[in-house]
Structure 1
Amino acid sequence: MAEQDWLSERFAEHQGRLRAMAYRMLGSPGEAEDAVQEAWLRVSRADTDQVENPAGWLTTVVARVCLNMLQARRAQREESAGALPPEPDVDVHPTGRAGPEDEALLSDSVGVALMVVLETLTPAERLAFVLHDVFAVPFGEIGAVIDRSPAAARQLASRARRRVQGAADASDAARSAKREIVAAFLAASRNGDFAALLELLDPDAAVGEVRGGQAVAAFFAGRAQAARLALVDGVPGAVWTHRGRPKAVFTFTVDDRKITRITIDTDPDRLGDLDVVFLPAGGRERR
């Protein structure tokens, strides 16, 4: 009983980190929770007499569970290669919202671009990158999890890192270009510059029931006086506030440097969950 109590205490002590690690490797809070629960079943039946480093041991167990899940996921995709592939599981705010630990986990990521790239890595590459670059696990321990040498684990992490960095650079460039387009749209809207709005809008642009570049330009000309350029969950958009609270969020779909759709969200529950970073000229202001 004393040994089981000790094990339960050690597992509870490290559970937050284990769940965060599984979340980054699997990309889904639900699957991360399943992995942690499976790891607990394994460690609860294990002989702990030789365990000298509980944190490292638990990390290894969870990593192996995640590796098995990633390999099974990859095998399932290969089996269904003849059918249309499913959309990548890249929703960083899925139904059943992640908790504070999960939100903190993704705060240093490059968002959807990173998740898409992680989905393209082999299970061993993904595990090596996440364990080393995010959680500072030594390559010797990583190699033991994936049955490779420390040098091979280092190579896997390096290969994954190059691909992730490429995604980060592409994401930053796309975000910067979109920010310029949204800023230009807001300026043209405030100034009632119909010609400038038409230049920014796709001929088939839409906002709600208003369709067509001409109609959308007419709808926004002279408006958006109080809307401010902002990052909304990390994506350039616009926000209208009243007494310091967001009342409307404008999100923009951009294709080939043309705005194809503008969505206006006024639902207070959804707006309250958004991370809004205002982008005034010359600085940043966080709500």
Structure 2
Amino acid sequence: GELSVAFMYVLERLGPEERAAFLLRQVFDYDYPEIAAQLGKTEASCRQMVHRASERVQQARTRFEVPQAVHHQLLQRFMKAAQSGDRHAIEALLSEDAQLIGDGGGIVPSFPKPLVGPFRITNLYWAVFRRLGAQVVYRMALINGEPGLLRYVGGRIESAQAFVTDGERIVAIYAVRNPDKLAGIPAMLPL
């Protein structure tokens, strides 16, 4: 099945070995001797890593599994704020530990490190608004089966943005700007 955006966000919080052990076990259904061989670890330590990772994923799921209607409403408010360049409204919708994670895929300039904190993320959206004004149009869309936003600049797709929310505020934004990955998305703004 598709990995939800929230699930991916949680996985990124795990250490690389913990994440590998967890994915091999839960997603690819490897048994422990196979995982141990893959990671060059003992079976016991692999069991422990999977156990720890599973607990963290469970905790996070309870935080991030939000009714779709609530998620949708938050995004609509965010879209309106971004569209009108309303700094205060944008910032108020972001959690204290909010992150913006960009993926330009090496083709389009992106930001190598996540932007952390409401202030920096707000500045980015505001800068786009200031620079491009009415050329920027946001649309709600399903991304990976979950509500997200598409950003069009001058009528052409510029990025697809998936969101992790905790029901009250936005915790993470994944901005995909790689043209190849945007293949399933209308390249021109539907009129």
TM-score by length of 2: 0.50
TM-score by length of 1: 0.35
Task: Choose between structure 1 and 2 for higher RCO, CA contacts under 8 A separated by at least 6 residues.
Answer: 2
| Greater C-alpha Rg | 1
